[in-house]
Chains A and B, each alone.
Chain A
């Protein structure tokens, strides 16, 4: 049995310190402005961007992570009528998966699913590290097909549908949220969440970096 692995949180490029919260799996290099994910004991570079806010909301600006995956979808229906109905839905090019630790998202509303359903196109702004990424990319990929099926199921019964999605491109977006004390509101769509629904809100506010 192997012992615990101690991984120095240093950027492989510049050897600068990496920033993140205690439960994070993705850390940011302040110098290179790139996210690095811990995968099987190694730091793997990911493409990271910060989304430009479309809503000017009051409050302290925080950037929370969302995985965005450009997908190619292949689907096959048993029922031609349902297939015809499904074709009326515009295809989702990007699937978003929430990467921060949101408590009970099926109650409060999963921002990843909502962004996917609304077919949000994020625009990059000056890169700011997005803290609180507790979901790995591999784990995020398991949500891609359920998100797509959920969106189709809201319009058409998915009985007899076989769907597979191939991830072609991945970006870790830092989505701007306005921290208003009791609530946090995203500056893209305007979704509101109680601050207590974010399990790492205390660490985010205290800047308790690992």
Chain B
């Protein structure tokens, strides 16, 4: 029965089977930035079902709202209107009109009840799903039954803090409405966690158990293109520096000075700049990177194992740029 003060619990009906989640994770692993060894069925995925708690606050806003507005008839701007009509219209005060609207609407707010960034909880579209014309179905919550087939996470956020926060956000002082039939529910949302090993290191992909979308992922990034580009830039730098040095040496052995003297300093500067860029790039891509999909905004990003500093900042920016470029070329097909 409904115990006063207790939070009723429900499980959100699962919409993606184990095989469906496996297919979604494998589809993600076909992303072009990932190593080829991961693509296809080579990665052995271990799937586990998790249930993550969310708070749902619902209430009815009942009461009345007084709308006040001022209206004026249309301005006499026609060809047949006399010119003084417009002057009269401008001098006429607008008519004040009042309208009382009866409000009887549902208020709905949903927020996660625990922090699990590795499962991409921030990306779960539960509020959108619950507001839609085909809301997700709820099932009776039975912890014993759920724990037989899934990992059930416990809420770490206290219910009263979520409720207080929601009530503060939806509080309105300017009308004669109030919130009645307030309900707080705990909804357990299914998420598939697919784990795999690559080069001895563990990685995982979190798949939405209702929509089948990718919520969070970690994967080793394939940066062979970046390494090739870095080697090419270094070669260009060596060519520039070599040409400049040869020009200077030749000009020193001749008299009078020729064009090589004028061209050599800019070539030398350009070569040094390219050399520095190439060196930083090689450092970034040689050390490897991780492909990460997390957070509420933006698409996947590439992270490198950086230890801080200006050079590592430059390396990180380059790696992320390359990741965006590759992800853009792939058309975001994995999401």
Contact = CB atoms under 8 A, between A and B. Distances in A.
Given A196-B137, A202-B139, A208-B140, 4 more contacts: A103-B58, A159-B66, A159-B98, A196-B136
A106 interface: yes
Nearest to A153: B102
B140 to A, nearest CB: 5
Contacts of B13: 196, 202
A147 B62 CA distance: 9
B130 A103 contact: yes
A89 interface: no
Interface stretch (B1-9, B113-121, B254-262, B264-272): B1-9
A135 B181 contact: yes
Nearest to B101: A153
Interface stretch (A21-29, A56-64, A171-179): A21-29
B135 A196 contact: yes
A206 B133 CA distance: 24
Contacts, number: 95
Nearest to A103: B135
B314 interface: no
Nearest to A146: B62
Given A4-B3, A7-B1, A157 B135 contact: no
Give the top 5 A-B pairs by smallest Cβ distance, nearest first.
Answer: A196-B137, A202-B139, A159-B100, A153-B102, A149-B102
Interface in B94-111: 98-102, 104-106, 108
A122 interface: no
B102 A139 contact: no
26 contacts: A4-B3, A7-B1, A22-B140, A24-B2, A25-B1, A25-B2, A104-B135, A106-B104, A107-B133, A134-B2, A143-B60, A149-B102, A150-B104, A157-B99, A157-B100, A158-B64, A160-B100, A161-B100, A194-B135, A196-B134, A196-B138, A197-B135, A200-B138, A201-B137, A202-B13, A203-B140
Contacts of B134: 194, 196
A93 B135 CA distance: 34
A104 B102 CA distance: 17
B180 A104 contact: no
B63 interface: yes
B286 interface: no
A115 to B, nearest CB: 15
A150 B137 contact: no
Nearest to B63: A146
Contact of A106 (B3, B105, B138, B140): B105
B131 interface: yes
Q: How large is the interface on A (under 10, 10 to 19, 20 to 34, 35 or more residues)?
A: 35 or more
B71 to A, nearest CB: 14
Interface of A: 4, 7, 9, 20, 22-25, 27, 38, 103-107, 110, 113, 134-135, 139, 142-143, 146-147, 149-150, 153, 157-161, 194-197, 199-203, 206, 208, 210
Interface string B1-32: 11100001010010000000000000000000
Interface centre among A38, A113, A159, A199 (most CB of B within 10 A): A199
Interface string B54-89: 000010101110100000000000000000000000
Contacts of A135: 181
A95 B180 CA distance: 18
A203 B1 CA distance: 13
A199 B106 CA distance: 15
A25 B58 CA distance: 18
A177 to B, nearest CB: 16
A89 B147 CA distance: 56
Interface centre among A105, A149, A158 (most CB of B within 10 A): A149
Contacts of B104: 106, 110, 113, 146-147, 150
A208 B133 CA distance: 26
Contacts of A195: 137
Contacts of A113: 104
B1 A22 contact: yes
A142 B180 contact: yes
Contact of A194 (B60, B133, B180): B133
A39 B184 CA distance: 20
Contacts of A104: 106, 108, 130-131, 135
Contacts of B8: 22-23
A150 B130 CA distance: 25
